[in-house]
Amino acid sequence: MLSFVGTNFHGWQVQPNLRTVQGVLSDALGVLFGEKVKLIGCCRTDAGVHAKEYVANFKSSKLFPLDNLLKALNAILPEDVGVKKVWLEDIGFNARYSVAGKLYIYRVFPSHARDPFLEPFLWRIPYRLDVESMKRATELFLGKHDLSGFAKLDEEECNPFVEIEECSVEEKDRIIEIRLKAKRFLRYTVRRIAGCLIYLGMGKLTVDDIKEFLNGKRCPYTAKAKGLTLEKVFL
């Protein structure tokens, strides 16, 4: 299990000539094990998205004491990635398919004030938000929906139906948190649902608009990546 600050990463998945979390972690494991390591992550993340909990797995023909592996990885990884826990899993475990669910939190700060300690982890907007309207609209997303209008589908993610277990809005110290939990999400889905709720709160979008997106119309409202954190992975 690891965590990372996504600000200076081009997402999780390895991309040629770009700094990615998978690339950095694979390189570190390769140094320690002396062989190329195939690393499987629990999901892809967009460039700039953060993770407090992220699960990945790999297989190796070589043994490495777990306590030593944790220390060694954190000694050579850059400061914006940290390994929190390592353990042995069953041979059939696959981080992408074996996890039971993921909780994302999107943080938005409706204020002209700026806190540099928070700025990298939220979307600060100069608008007041109607939080009660946002809360009521979350009910639209609960349950199983065809989320084609909120996603970028590719050959690997051809099933557009997603069952959302939690969709809620909370306000904490003037920061508004949009919480979304499901076993799986489609690409851009969380950021676009967050974008809809935020623009609804601004008064620039209506509930009827959101219903049209849920019926297949493409949603053009994508919240900024830096406000999104993969908060917890359920095993």
Q: Which residues are catalytic?
A: 46
Give the C-alpha separation, 80 to 32, whole Å.
19
Residue 204's CB is within 10 A of a number of other CB atoms, namely 11
Q: Burial code of 143-176, b = ≥16 C-beta within 10 A, e = fewer?
A: eebebbbbbeeeeebeebebebeebbbeeeeebb
Give the C-alpha separation, 74 to 215, whole Å.
46
